[in-house]
Structures are given as C-alpha cells and as structure tokens.
Amino acid sequence: MAKTKSGTKITVVSYSGEPFKNREEAGRLIAEQLGRLRNKGAIVLGIPRGGIIVAKELATRIRADLDIVLSRKLGTPGQPELAMGSLAEDGTVFTNEYVVKAMGVTKQDIEQEKARQIKEIQRRTQLIRNVLPKSSLKNRIVVVTDDGVATGATMQAALWAVRQENPLSVIVAIPVASDEALNRLSADADEILCLRQPPIFYAVGQFYSQFYQVQDEEVIQVLKAEAARRQKRRRKR
C-alpha cells in the first residue's frame, strides 16, 4: 500500500501476470478486497462494455447498487489516447486545462471532438436509460471499475465525469493495470485498488483465459436484472 503526493491510497495486491479465468472471477476477487463496503450504500459503476460484467459481480457481493458510466474520453488532436477532457452523460464537458494549454488545443478542436463523441453518448443513453434510469452519485461512495486499464485515459475521463456529481468518495477498483495507468489515475481518485500490476503489460486481454467481446445485448440483460432488483427492493420498503 502506498500514498501519492495527492494523498490517494493505492493498494496493489500482486505484481503477478497470472491471468484471471474470466471477468466474473475478477469481480469476485475485487469484492473480497472491498468487503468493508458491504451494505454501506455504495454504488458500483462499470465502464462499458467489459467493465459492466466485473461491476455486476462486485456489486452483488458487496450489496451495492449497480450502474454504468456513459462518459466519453475527449481525445487530443494527433494523440487520441491522451485525454484532454471528458464528456459526461448529460453533455457536460470537462477539460483538462493543463493538457489543453500544453498541446495547443483550440476551442474548435474541443467542439469537434465533443460533436464526434456525443453521438455515441446519445446512442448508449437511448439504449440503456430506457432499461435502467441513472442513479444519483451525490454524497455516495462510488466505485468505478473496468476489466482492466492499459493507459488509463478512458478511466480518467470517467472519473472526471463522476467528480462533477459531488460523490462522497471515489474508489477505482480494477483487476489489472499498468504502472502508467495507476500513476495517471492517482490524482483523480481517493483510493485505488488494483489486484495485479504485472511488470509487462501489452493489452488487457492477455490477463484473461476467457476474454470475449461483450455485446450490447449482454449489457442490457445485466442492467435489466439490476432494474428488477431495485424494483423488488422498493416494494419491500
């Protein structure tokens, strides 16, 4: 366990490159590390698409709400993997002023990238929010997860969007990540849990024995089950 200059607590459980069986196993193993959050009213947000499978297992085991992150990374012109900001589900744009100034990004560049990404936000919102209404994150413990993090740019964009909703705290919980990614995320989370940080990292898929492409249909089924669970809980009150 370590703390960065920003005060972020980073826990790396192992430096092994041993693969997980599948995303479900990864979610269960994260839940074992976050048992303290059980029944604490937390909410687990999965980054589509693979992250929602991890999130489902985690949320079930710590008895937390489940939702999905629909934010999109705003890639920097000429360096699309470098996030210059993020686009939240409601269309709010967050820009990283340091990157914008350092890379000479113009307002026109930002608007062009926003226009490109908002189409995908709208597609996913229409697809998903008819199934599961968005949960409020205000004053809640928010756990953000994915099936793995290579560069950290997509997760970073998600964290920027989450922060706009004033959560109580933001925890990044991931099965596997590169050293580069953990360093990048340390300024945007209150806590980071990483099960495995292997010395050699090429792609997330190398750390899973089963790593299929998750389709929208599977995501919808997971969210339908969550909607039914919420409805059942409301009836009991």
pLDDT (tens digit, 9 = 90+) per residue, 86-119?
Answer: 888 888 888 989 899 999 999 999 999 999 999 8
**What does the pLDDT average to over 222-235?**
89
Closest CA to 92 of 66, 68, 67, 121: 121
**What does the pLDDT average to over 151-170?**
91
Query: Tell me, what amino acid is at 143?
Result: V
Average pLDDT, the chain: 92
Query: Tell me, what amino acid is at 100?
Result: V
pLDDT on residue 83:
87
Which CATH number is 2-71+133-236 given? 3.40.50.2020
**Cβ contacts of 72 within 8 Å, gap of 6 or more:** 86, 87, 117, 118, 120, 121, 157
Q: Say if residue 169's pLDDT is above 80.
A: yes
pLDDT on residue 181:
92
pLDDT in tens, 61-86: 999 999 999 888 899 999 988 889 88
Q: pLDDT class for 237, splitting at 50, 70, 90? A: low
pLDDT in tens, 208-221: 999 999 999 999 99
**Cβ contacts of 46 within 8 Å, gap of 6 or more:** 52, 53, 54, 55, 56, 66, 67, 68, 69, 145, 146
Q: pLDDT class for 4, splitting at 50, 70, 90? A: low
Q: Hey, which residues does 173 pair with through a beta bridge?
A: 193
Q: pLDDT class for 1, splitting at 50, 70, 90? A: low
